[in-house]
Amino acid sequence: MKRIVVLRLGHRLFRDQRMTTHVALTARALGAEGVLFISGDKTVEQSLRDARKRWGGEFYVRGGVNWRDEIRKWKDAGGKVCHLTMYGINLPDVIDEIKGTKNLMVIVGAEKVPAEVYDLVDWNVAIGQQPHSEVAALAIFLDRLQEGEELKRSFKRGLKIIPKRKGKCVKRG
């Protein structure tokens, strides 16, 4: 089984709460086991813990981490690190190489990413060379990485959406 963790770099209090929350919700829904934040924004962390309680799953949230330490620890344990940036190699040109990785940390930025990150990672990967949302980039990357299999996952416990052509149905799991 592939392990995927998302590291969110940058977070401007009040300005980025919604975007950081969406990065984490996307990571959770599309196969990551957890998310790490360099910020210690307790509001965002609690919101994500509440979502996990309602919707189930084992997703973890850790805030206030040191990004250098987390990258080094991950790599020292044999993992690989991928930074999503519009300055990287186009996704289609590198995705097959990344797919073989068992333990993958995916970095997404908020504000200007420190130059050191570009050298510490194994891959700098672009979802096109135009400005775009880190949420969209993460979603496209995780879907391509897992070839759509993450969309078939079911979460233990919590609310379950029952697919319907019309209307909506949510049941307790």
- pTM of the predicted model, to two decimals? 0.90
Q: What average pLDDT does range 106-128 have in this prediction? A: 92
80-90 and 60-62 strand pairing: unpaired
- pLDDT tens for 76-90 read 999 999 999 999 999
Could you tell me the residue ranges of all domains in the chain?
3-172
Structure tokens at 31: 């196969």
SS3 131: coil
Please indicate whether residue 12 or residue 107 has the higher confidence score (pLDDT).
Answer: 107
Distance CA 47, CA 26 (A): 14
Q: How many residues does the chain have?
A: 173
Structure tokens at 126: 């672009």
CATH superfamily, domain at 3-172: SPOUT methyltransferase, trefoil knot domain (3.40.1280.10)
Distance CA 65, CA 149 (A): 30
pLDDT at 29: 92
Residue pair 143/30 in contact (Cβ under 8 Å)? The answer is: yes
- Indicate whether 13 pLDDT > 60: no
- Indicate whether 15 pLDDT > 80: no
What is residue 65's DSSP assignment? -
How confident is the prediction for the chain on average, in pLDDT? 89
Q: What average pLDDT does range 94-123 have in this prediction? A: 94
Could you tell me the pLDDT band of residue 46, with boundaries at 50, 70 and 90? confident
Strand partners, 61: 35
Distance CA 8, CA 66 (A): 11
SS3 120: helix
Q: What average pLDDT does range 19-40 have in this prediction? A: 91
Neighbours of 134 (CB within 10 A): 23
SS3 156: coil
Q: What average pLDDT does range 41-55 have in this prediction? A: 86
